[in-house]
């Protein structure tokens, strides 16, 4: 079916109240923000450790090595998963005009998922981590997490399967993501742990790291962008054809990239070359998606100024493009020789996780909270601070870590004693602490603003903002 | 097909995923079929036993309490536990375990990593690592003495002035000369790394154990 097909809506459109369980959406968002705070504390602890400013040395429960794993896991399974689940509970019923399979199941999923995340944290703190990056979830939790993912898929697939007429892009991404996330989690957490040792196990771990970003986070993120951007701009997506290219390009090329995380390992060289080429192909696909979204906003550019959620979305997209452009360069073996294992990669990871997906989710939350709470934001100035501190923080952290990586790479290659590379990293690591604190300050603005809004407080901000903040009035 | 539910679910969701898995994971598995996974027991070698005995002589009380005799069997137990701690403490997020053929790494650490080195139980999941805040450890065995490791784990800055590596006092009973079971196991694991290589030890010559224990000051 082509984009031109006009579908008539069912005569009796269901009421929003019968579709969306708003309270649950808010709960998911709040849970996400709590885990984000935990993750930031872990990141901060490790950042302080690196420059030996860690005031909490010597306690087993506060070991920076363990908290470094809390840092990444709390973001992936605590923040991102919860925030996505919240947004899905809003978007899927409204797109399909059908509620999820069961609200009771939704609540059960909410509770079950928090159990999964909290026991992951407890297990890691007790030193039971599993030796797979992004899969440190202790082995005894893996089956539970997998069951949870299955329930999520069932709960959302029910309305999608029943939906009639052509499916909108967003739903392609969501459907595929439900299948992919389940498969990826099972592959990455079970095969290298129980069945496949060594080099081939490393290849699977590479697939897992990559698919988790590419087949869980990315499709949910883009699916939500395809949903929220046209709504906020009040016009359809620019090209249906390009969204087809984007989706199928991602589906085909993304899973083929995994081994690029382990270049120059004993994994057979021809597989490494394959992963490098597939990665460069993904960059081309990404470009089509970016063109599509900039085609969409063409002519409404002012929205970036006075529509804050749109600004979050498009900032994330610009950073996404930078990330992916960077991918295409750093994946080459020439670059890898220099920057692999350095802070360059850490900078890249932060740019993707915070600069792109967190930005998008923050835009969505900024847009949805006034609707969920049925009142405008307590302070639109604080909303702006949230945006600017987050953006300034992540961009400066990215530049800082990228530079650090280049210095480290050359220090190692020049065969200087190891300590030299540590010492020259120090100014970068100190700067990184402050960049991180800037990000944290931004989120504190958001948290305070949310709390005040929730409590129904009003600020004495001038009312002039009303026109520019039309997005914020439900 | 490209916009239908079955197309998205079957082709995009399933077939492409399986295709990537076959080409990127099953291919290397088939290639290394003739290199079966070695159990930990097969990994204990002379070099490692030397270090394990050294531990039993240096820390006789702790060692006999936790491991009894320095036998091959107990060494296997120590290796398995040591690997668990290496994973649980997140050492692998700061240390890699593979030497690349580029960036002069072979000059710094020794022979470039090869697949047979990784076909064993202690490399499931494989500890390639992801970031080098500290140096690669895949050729660490024999590079330092057990006492150096003990002091270093207790408080890295006491032997490496500006080390950002965290302290691990919970691997000890109060002082660096009293490693507990976990401490002894972790040291054993670190001494295992690279002990299988012909080039071992790359850094120093062996000093026979008796000679080492022969304290010149005591005479």
CATH of the domain at A402: 1.20.210.10
Burial grade of A254 (CB within 10 A; 0-12, 13-18, 19 or more): buried
Q: Number of folded domains in chain A?
A: 2
A49, A176, A196 member nearest B13 (Cβ): A176
Any idea where the domains of chain B sit in the sequence?
A: 1-31, 40-214
| Contact residues, chain B, for A131 at CB < 8 Å | 87, 92, 125, 127
* Closest alpha carbon within chain A to B36: A197
Residue B172, helix vs strand vs coil: strand
Q: B136 vs chain A: nearest CA distance in angstroms?
A: 10
Is the separation of the CB atoms in A258 and A188 below 8 Å? no
The domain boundary residue, chosen from A165, A197, A212: A165
Please check whether residue A199 lies inside any domain of the structure: no
Rounded distance between C-alpha atoms, residue B55 and residue B75, angstroms: 11
Residues in chain B, pLDDT under 50: 219
pLDDT value at position A458? Answer: 85
Average pLDDT over residues A293-300: 96
The sign of the dihedral angle between the CA atoms of A149, A150, A154, A160 is positive
pLDDT band at A8 (very low <50, low <70, confident <90, very high): low
Interface of A with B in 349-408 (CB under 8 A): none
Rounded distance between C-alpha atoms, residue A448 and residue A451, angstroms: 5
- pLDDT tens, position by position, A420-449: 999 999 999 999 999 999 999 999 999 999
Is the separation of the CB atoms in A106 and A92 below 8 Å? no
Cut 0.80: pTM above it: yes
Alpha helices in B9-138 (DSSP H): 16-21, 27-31, 46-58, 60-66, 72-88, 105-109
**Among residues A317, A309, A321, which one has the least CA distance to residue A233?**
A309
Spatial neighbors of B1 by CB under 8 A, at least 6 apart, are B7, B11
pLDDT value at position A13? Answer: 79
Best of A4, A60, A198 to disrupt the B interface (most B CBs within 10 Å) is: A198
The domain boundary residue, chosen from A110, A139, A165: A165
pLDDT value at position A276? Answer: 97
**Residues linked to residue B179 through DSSP beta bridges, in sequence order:** B172
pLDDT value at position B219? Answer: 47
pLDDT band at A313 (very low <50, low <70, confident <90, very high): very high
Q: A388 vs chain B: nearest CA distance in angstroms?
A: 30
Spatial neighbors of A411 by CB under 8 A, at least 6 apart, are A420, A421, A424
Instruction: Of A48-52, A63-67, A253-257, B201-205, give the lowest mean pLDDT range.
Output: B201-205
Rounded distance between C-alpha atoms, residue A179 and residue A205, angstroms: 19
The domain boundary residue, chosen from A133, A165, A197: A165
- Which parts of chain B are beta strand (E)? none
* Interface contact B113, partner A, CB < 8 A: yes
Residue A27 has pLDDT above 60, yes or no: yes
Is the separation of the CB atoms in A281 and A357 below 8 Å? no
- pLDDT tens, position by position, A110-130: 999 999 999 999 999 999 999
Mean pLDDT of chain A: 94
pLDDT value at position B217? Answer: 59
CA angle, residues B91, B94, B96, in degrees to nearest 5: 90
- pLDDT tens, position by position, A364-418: 999 999 999 999 999 999 999 999 999 999 999 999 999 999 999 999 999 999 9
- Domain residues for the domain of A355 are 301-474
Rounded distance between C-alpha atoms, residue A184 and residue A204, angstroms: 10
DSSP label at B40? Answer: G
* Interface contact B42, partner A, CB < 8 A: no
DSSP label at B218? Answer: G
Rounded distance between C-alpha atoms, residue A379 and residue B90, angstroms: 42
Mean pLDDT of chain B: 93
Average pLDDT over residues A49-66: 94
> Domain B40-214 is in which class?
mainly alpha
- pLDDT tens, position by position, A81-105: 999 999 999 999 999 999 999 999 9
Is the separation of the CB atoms in A111 and B68 below 8 Å? no
Spatial neighbors of A37 by CB under 8 A, at least 6 apart, are A443, A447
Spatial neighbors of A335 by CB under 8 A, at least 6 apart, are A329
pLDDT band at A14 (very low <50, low <70, confident <90, very high): confident
pLDDT value at position B172? Answer: 98
**Among residues A262, A316, A328, which one has the least CA distance to residue A290?**
A316
Residue A50 has pLDDT above 50, yes or no: yes
- Enter the ipTM: 0.94
Place of tokens 């090869």: B114
* Interface contact B210, partner A, CB < 8 A: no
């Amino acid at each position: 079916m082509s984009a031109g097909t006009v579908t008539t809506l069912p005569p009796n459109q269901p009421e929003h109240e019968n579709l969306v369980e708003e309270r649950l959406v808010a709960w998911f968002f709040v849970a996400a923000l709590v885990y984000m705070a935990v993750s930031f504390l872990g990141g901060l602890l490790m950042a302080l450790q690196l420059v030996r400013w860690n005031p909490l040395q010597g306690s087993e429960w506060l070991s920076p090595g363990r908290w470094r794993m809390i840092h990444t896991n709390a973001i992936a399974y605590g923040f991102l998963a919860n925030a996505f689940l919240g947004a899905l509970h809003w978007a899927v019923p409204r797109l399909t005009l059908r509620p999820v399979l069961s609200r009771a199941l939704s609540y059960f999923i909410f509770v079950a998922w928090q159990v999964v995340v909290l026991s992951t944290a407890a297990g890691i703190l007790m030193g039971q981590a599993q030796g797979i990056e992004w899969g440190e979830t202790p082995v005894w939790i893996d089956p539970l997490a997998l069951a949870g993912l299955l329930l999520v898929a069932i709960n959302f697939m029910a309305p999608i399967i029943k939906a009639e007429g052509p499916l909108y892009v967003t739903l392609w991404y969501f459907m595929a993501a439900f299948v992919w996330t389940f498969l990826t989690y099972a592959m990455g957490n079970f095969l290298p742990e129980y069945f496949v040792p060594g080099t081939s196990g490393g290849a699977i771990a590479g697939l897992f790291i990559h698919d988790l970003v590419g087949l869980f986070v990315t499709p949910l993120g883009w699916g939500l962008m395809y949903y929220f951007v046209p709504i906020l701009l009040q016009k359809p997506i620019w090209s249906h054809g390009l969204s087809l290219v984007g989706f199928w390009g991602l589906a085909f090329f993304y899973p083929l990239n995994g081994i690029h995380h382990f270049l120059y390992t004993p994994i057979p060289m021809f597989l490494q070359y394959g992963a490098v080429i597939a990665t460069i192909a993904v960059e081309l696909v990404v470009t089509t998606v970016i063109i599509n979204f900039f085609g969409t906003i063409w002519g409404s550019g002012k929205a970036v100024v006075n529509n804050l959620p749109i600004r979050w979305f498009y900032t994330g997209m610009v950073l996404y493009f930078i990330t992916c452009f960077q991918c295409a360069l750093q994946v080459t073996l020439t670059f890898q020789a220099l920057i692999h294992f350095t802070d360059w990669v850490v900078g890249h990871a932060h740019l993707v996780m915070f600069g792109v997906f967190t930005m998008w989710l923050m835009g969505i939350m900024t847009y949805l909270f006034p609707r969920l709470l049925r009142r405008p934001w307590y302070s639109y100035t604080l909303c702006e601070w949230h945006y600017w501190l987050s953006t300034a923080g992540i961009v400066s952290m990215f530049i800082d870590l990228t530079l650090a990586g280049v210095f480290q790479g050359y220090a190692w290659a020049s065969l200087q004693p190891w300590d030299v590379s540590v010492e020259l990293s120090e100014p970068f690591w100190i700067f990184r602490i402050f960049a991180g604190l800037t990000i944290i300050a931004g989120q504190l603005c958001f948290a305070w603003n949310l709390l005040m809004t929730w409590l129904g407080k009003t600020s004495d901000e001038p009312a002039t903002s009303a026109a520019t903040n039309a997005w914020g009035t439900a | 097909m490209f916009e239908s539910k079955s197309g998205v679910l079957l082709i995009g969701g399933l077939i492409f995923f399986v295709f990537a898995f076959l080409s990127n994971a099953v291919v290397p598995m088939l290639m290394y079929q003739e290199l079966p996974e070695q159990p930990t027991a097969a990994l204990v070698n002379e070099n490692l036993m030397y270090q394990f005995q050294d531990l039993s002589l240096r820390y006789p009380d702790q060692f006999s309490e936790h491991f009894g005799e320095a036998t091959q069997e107990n060494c296997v137990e120590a290796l398995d536990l040591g690997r668990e701690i290496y994973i649980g403490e997140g050492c692998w997020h700061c240390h890699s375990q593979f030497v690349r053929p580029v960036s002069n790494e072979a000059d710094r650490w020794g022979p470039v990593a090869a697949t047979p080195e990784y076909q064993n139980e202690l490399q499931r999941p494989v500890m390639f690592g992801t970031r080098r805040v500290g140096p690669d450890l895949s050729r660490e065995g024999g590079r330092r003495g057990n006492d150096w490791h003990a002091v270093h784990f207790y408080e890295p800055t006491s032997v490496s002035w500006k080390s950002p590596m965290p302290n691990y006092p919970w691997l000890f009973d109060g002082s660096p000369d009293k490693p507990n079971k976990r401490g002894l196991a972790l040291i054993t694991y670190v001494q295992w790394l690279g002990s299988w290589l012909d080039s071992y030890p790359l850094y120093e010559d062996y000093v026979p154990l008796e000679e080492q224990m022969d304290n010149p000051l005591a005479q």
